[in-house]
Structure 1
């Protein structure tokens, strides 16, 4: 739980709510943003946050050190692009919303993407992950094709950065984007 050094009046109601969450609820909510225990614990230790910028800066800084093993573990929580995230929780709803541009795309693009995604999985041994929010099916396909040229080490860095982008997007959702 947030300690007694929390600012008396945090203006942002989302930050105030996050600061006041019991530790177990904080862990559960932030794991929906990025399911890496070290990242969640670092943010828990950084509470209380004075404002949204402080929370986002801490989240960003700690997400920039994602290891390959952490990325692989976090990927287990992400559905493939084009697959409907199961469940009725916030994380599943976020995932469906983030991929909405793909779902509304042309059938030919979705088919080409599925084939490209299968090739990606054979090449890199993991699902293809991208922060899909706001991207069309064509943009997602172009990005997938471009990343197929990466070597495995570069692609691991790209995946970690995509996880970071998704985490920051979802932090805004946890806070209630103004």
Structure 2
């Protein structure tokens, strides 16, 4: 292959590109629950490579309306309480898994305070973060204005979506993901 030749899509991305629309929609909805985000990505298939897929995800996240952002947020569990039986949620929140009970209780209180202040779940890209880092982040963000917090939430959602899209491009959809 010459330097100017396009690189072929990874096997995972090739599997995603080959899915029918309903199956691809189901996979993307598992990454971000906002229907407008999913539609944006579906309309641009097939993707040549993981970066093109992630760039489309970034653009779709940036284009979310306040309602779309709320739809996306509604699918995220509180930090410290991953969705039961959801390996993605558990993997992303791994930093809370071994946290001492006092820290877990404090995180619950902070989650509730955040939800009361901003009307939504505290969203942070938890991948690779410790329980203490997440606690410190929610403490810091409780002092934000609603406008500033909305900017941070969109950026955090973008990070989460990008990690999930990269994982999709690498491994492809699982059989459970592809079920409509």
- Structure 1 stretch displaced more, 23-32 or 10-19: 10-19
Unpaired runs of at least 5, structure 2: 1-6, 173-180
Q: Matches of 1:115 and 1:73 in 2, distance apart? A: 24
The answer to whether the 8 Å contact 2:13/2:171 transfers is no
Number of aligned residue pairs = 167
Q: 1:128 to 1:54 in 2, by over 3 A?
A: same
1:83: Cα distance to partner?
1.2
Look up the match of 1:81.
79
Range with greater deviation from structure 2 (99-108 or 133-142):
99-108
Aligned to 1:5: none
Q: State the structure with bigger RCO (CA 8 A, min sep 6), 1 or 2.
A: 2
Q: Which residue number in structure 1 is paired with residue 57 of structure 2?
A: 59
Among candidates 6, 19, 25, match of residue 21 of structure 1: 19
Aligned to 1:99: 93
Residue 175 of structure 1 is matched in structure 2 by: 169
CA contact (8 A) 1:31 1:40 kept: yes
| Correspondence 1:151-170 to 2 at 5 A | 151-170=145-164
In structure 1, what is the equivalent of residue 143 of structure 2?
A: 149
Q: TM-score, structure 2 length as denominator?
A: 0.86
1:97-156 per-position Cα deviation (integer Å, ceiling 9, x unaligned): 100111212222222211111111111111111111111000000100110111011112
Q: 1:14 and 1:123 mapped to 2: Cα distance?
A: 41
Gapped regions of structure 1 (runs ≥ 5):
1-8
Question: 1:73 offset after TM fit, Å?
Answer: 1.5
Q: TM-score scaled to structure 1, two decimals? A: 0.87
Q: Distance in 2 between matches of 1:154 and 1:11?
A: 37
Question: Aligned equivalents of 1:65 and 1:146: distance in 2?
Answer: 26
> What is the RMSD of the two structures over their aligned residues, measured on CA atoms?
1.9
Match in the other structure for 2:121: 127
Whole-angstrom distance in 1 between the partners of 2:60 and 2:82: 29
Contact 1:120/1:128 (<8 A) preserved: yes
